Amino acid sequence: MNQKKTAFVTKELMLRAVKDSFVKLAPKTQLRNPVMFLVYVSAVLTTALYVCSLFGVADARPGFILAVAVILWFTVLFADFAEAIAEGRGKAQADALRAARQDVTANKIPSPDRRDEITRVKSACLRKGDLVLVGVGEQIPADGEVIDGAASVDESAITGESAPVIRESGGDRSAVTGGTTVTSDQLVIRVTSEAGESFLDKMIAMVEGASRKKTPNEIALQILLVALTIIFLLVTVSLYPFSAFSAGQAGMANPTSVTALVALLVCLAPTTIGALLSAIGIAGMSRLNQANVLAMSGRSIEAAGDVDTLLLDKTGTITLGNRQAYELIPVDGTDIHELADAAQLSSLADETPEGRSVVVLAKEQFGLRGRNLGGLHASFIPFTAKTRMSGVDYAGNEIRKGAAEAVRAYVAGQGGAYSKQCEEAVEQIARQGGTPLVVAKNGRVLGVIHLKDIIKQGVREKFADLRKMGIRTVMITGDNPLTASAIAAEAGVDDFLAEATPEGKLQMIRDLQAKGHLVAMTGDGTNDAPALAQADVAVAMNTGTQAAKEAGNMVDLDSSPTKLIDIVRIGKQLLMTRGSLTTFSIANDVAKYFAILPALFMGLYPGLSALNIMGLHSAESAILSAIIYNALIIVALIPLALRGVRYREVPAAKLLSRNLVVYGLGGIIAPFIAIKLIRLQINLHTGLSQRNPGSIFR
What is the distance between the alpha carbons of residues 441 and 397, in angstroms, rounded to a whole number?
Answer: 7
- Which DSSP letter does residue 183 get? -
What is the distance between the alpha carbons of residues 629 and 22, in angstroms, rounded to a whole number?
Answer: 21
Give helix 619-643 / helix 271-290 axis angle, nearest 10°.
10
First to last CA, the chain: 57
* Phi, psi for 13 (deg, rounded to 5): -65, -40
CA-CA distances (angstroms) from residue 73 to 42, 49, 222, 521, 660? 9, 14, 22, 47, 31
**353 half-sphere exposure, CB direction, 13 A CA radius:** 10
Around Cβ 216, how many Cβ atoms within 10 Å? 11
> Who contacts 318 (Cβ-Cβ below 8 Å, separation ≥6)?
312, 455, 456, 459, 475, 487, 491, 493
What is the distance between the alpha carbons of residues 276 and 644, in angstroms, rounded to a whole number?
Answer: 12
Answer whether 395's CB lies under 8 Å from 374's CB.
no
Q: Please, what is the Cα angle at 639 between 636 and 642, to 5 degrees?
A: 135
Residue 105 host element (H or E): strand 105-109
**Closest by Cα among 561, 525, 531, 529 to 545:** 525
Q: Give the number of residues written for the chain.
A: 698
**672 half-sphere exposure, CB direction, 13 A CA radius:** 14
Burial of 171 (0-12, 13-18, 19+ CB in 10 A): exposed
**425 half-sphere exposure, CB direction, 13 A CA radius:** 24
What is the distance between the alpha carbons of residues 529 and 547, in angstroms, rounded to a whole number?
Answer: 6
What is the distance between the alpha carbons of residues 655 and 652, in angstroms, rounded to a whole number?
Answer: 5
Answer whether 473's CB lies under 8 Å from 310's CB.
yes
The one-letter amino acid code at 198 reads: S
Can you tell me whether residue 390 is helix, strand or coil? Answer: strand
* 134: β partners: 187
CA-CA distances (angstroms) from residue 325 to 259, 276, 335, 337, 362? 79, 54, 18, 16, 9
Catalytic residue among 80, 154, 313, 536: 313
What is the distance between the alpha carbons of residues 591 and 585, in angstroms, rounded to a whole number?
Answer: 11
Whether 524 is catalytic is no
> Who contacts 378 (Cβ-Cβ below 8 Å, separation ≥6)?
345, 392, 393, 394
Q: 3-state SS of 513-567?
A: HHCCCCEEEEECCHHHHHHHHHCCEEEEECCCCHHHHHHCCEEECCCCCCHHHHH
The residues carrying an active-site annotation are 313
